[in-house]
Amino acid sequence: MFSRPLLRFVPNGTRINFMRGRFIGLATSAVLSIASVILFLHPGLTLGLDFRGGIVVEVRTQGPADFGQVRAALAAQHVDAAGVQSFGAPNDVLIRLDAPPAASADHEARTQALVDSVRHAVATLPGAQVLRADAVGASVSAELFRDGMLALGISLLMILGYIWFRFEWEFAVSAVITLILDLTKAVGFLVVTHFEFDLVMVAAILTILGYSTNDKVVVYDRVRENLRKYRTMPLAELIDLSINETLSRTLGTSMTVFLAALPLALFGASLSSFAWVMLFGIVVGTSSSIFIAAPILLLLGEKRLRRDARPPR
């Protein structure tokens, strides 16, 4: 353990013919992504407080929560009791209310005042305490949503630009197409799991995109190196060779990031859904590096990258 490695992740000198299965890989990915897009359109993402606005109050009651009592206490403060739900432990109660319609003049003030009404209601419940109380007004939630989408969009463009600058356009385009396919699957995962889509999820998705790009860069780096080294090898064979050569690294790094994110998913409290999305993204990103990014590169570059013996940049 202290000198030679005890285990080997991938045996040396694998010769797996990934490119033979490229159409199956692309088809599977396309089906999953289309399904995700359909899920995104209907039923759609569950928007979190950041993006939807309104209030969320988490309450811990003494002993198992009596929902009837909680609803009655809210009704006494003229608060709509429909938003009461259970979450986590049996003595935890989540109160979630939408913001008043933005058309009314004092909607911001009313959103903020809702929290105080809920607090007053909770104060009438013996032994109950407020764990968390958030209120986000309509103007802030609209801004947060816009900023989140901008962050996603600009990041994708910058990644495209960077890879374009460092590699040739075939690489950049296949990377970004793959990233978009990854992204749609992450969205589908969010819809299926009912995880709330908020700024933290945007952070998870951006992190996944960063890591996924990482993976692609390593494979592409090797493709570029091999293009120089083996002037006559057909591109399909060359890409296969490059994937095999980097397989151990691709899986190794994915594994360490996976291991780092796993405890967060299991014990990470409020970040657990963030970590599950990360784990999902790591698996998708790793497989897309092998089964999607490389085949797309093959499709785009079959004619061009091998057209002449000109050494790539």
Partner 1 sequence: MMYYSRLKLASVVAVCLLGVLLCLPNALRQPAPTVPWRQIHLGLDLRGGSYLLMQVDMNSVTADRLRTLADGTRQALLGAGLGYRDIATDAHAGTVTFTPRTPSETEADLKTLRAMPMAVANEFAVAQRPDGAIAITLSPEAMRLRATEAVTQSIEIVRRRIDATGAVDPEITRQGDDRIVVELPGISDPERVKHLLGTTAKMTFHMVQDSALGATPGPGVSLLPMMNAPDQKLPIADHVDVDGSDLTNASAAIDQQTGEWAVDFTFDSVGARAFATTTKANVGRRFAIVLDNKVVQAPVIRSAITGGNGQISGGFDAQSATDLALLLRAGALPAPLSVIEQRSIGPSLGADSIRAGMISLGVGFGLVIVFMALFYGRFGWYANVSLLANLVLMVAILSLFQATLTLPGMAGMLLTLGMAVDANILINERIREEIARNRTPLAAMQAGFERATSTILDSNATALLAHIMLFAFGTGPVQNFALTIMIGIVTTLFTTLLLSRMLMVRWYARTRPTVLPV
Q: Tell whether residue 158 is a contact of partner 1 (CB under 8 A).
A: yes
**Structure-block tokens of residue 114:** 């809702």
| Helix segments in the chain, DSSP class H | 22-41, 49-52, 67-76, 107-123, 138-166, 169-193, 199-229, 235-267, 272-288, 294-301
- Least distance to partner 1 from the beta carbon of 181, Å? 17
**Structure-block tokens of residue 233:** 């090898």
* Footprint (CB under 8 A) of partner 1, residues 174-203: 199-200, 202-203
Among 16, 24, 75, 109, binds partner 1 (CB under 8 A): 109
- Least distance to partner 1 from the beta carbon of 202, Å? 7
> How many residues bind to partner 1 according to rule CB under 8 A?
82
Which residue's CB is nearer to partner 1, number 19 or number 156? 156
* Among 67-75, 79-87, 263-271, 298-306, the segment contacting partner 1 (CB under 8 A): 263-271
Which residue's CB is nearer to partner 1, number 26 or number 102? 102
Q: Cβ–Cβ contacts within 10 Å for residue 256, how many?
A: 10
* Among 40-48, 144-152, 188-196, 285-293, the segment contacting partner 1 (CB under 8 A): 144-152
Strand partners, 84: 95
Which residue's CB is nearer to partner 1, number 39 or number 198? 198
Cα dihedral 186, 189, 195, 199 in deg (nearest 10): 10
CA distances from 135 to 46, 51, 73, 94, 254 (A): 17, 12, 20, 14, 38
* Among 17-25, 70-78, 134-142, 299-307, the segment contacting partner 1 (CB under 8 A): 134-142
Q: Tell whether residue 248 is a contact of partner 1 (CB under 8 A).
A: yes
Q: Tell whether residue 148 is a contact of partner 1 (CB under 8 A).
A: yes
Give the Cα separation of 187 and 255 in Å (integer): 22
Q: Tell whether residue 5 is a contact of partner 1 (CB under 8 A).
A: yes
Q: Tell whether residue 232 is a contact of partner 1 (CB under 8 A).
A: no
* Among 30-38, 143-151, 184-192, 226-234, the segment contacting partner 1 (CB under 8 A): 143-151
Among 33, 58, 235, 239, binds partner 1 (CB under 8 A): 58
| Helix segments in 194-309, DSSP class H | 199-229, 235-267, 272-288, 294-301
Total residues found in the chain within this entry: 313
Q: Tell whether residue 304 is a contact of partner 1 (CB under 8 A).
A: no
Q: Tell whether residue 163 is a contact of partner 1 (CB under 8 A).
A: yes
From the CA atom positions of the chain, what is the Rg in Å?
25
Among 11, 12, 87, 231, binds partner 1 (CB under 8 A): 12
196-197 and 46-47 beta bridge pairing? parallel
Q: Tell whether residue 168 is a contact of partner 1 (CB under 8 A).
A: no
- Least distance to partner 1 from the beta carbon of 43, Å? 26
DSSP-derived 3-state class of residue 291: helix
Among 84, 191, 238, 257, binds partner 1 (CB under 8 A): 257
Among 246, 286, 288, 289, binds partner 1 (CB under 8 A): 246
Which H or E run contains 92?
A: strand 92-97
Report the alpha-carbon angle 88-89-93, nearest 5.
75
Q: Tell whether residue 16 is a contact of partner 1 (CB under 8 A).
A: no
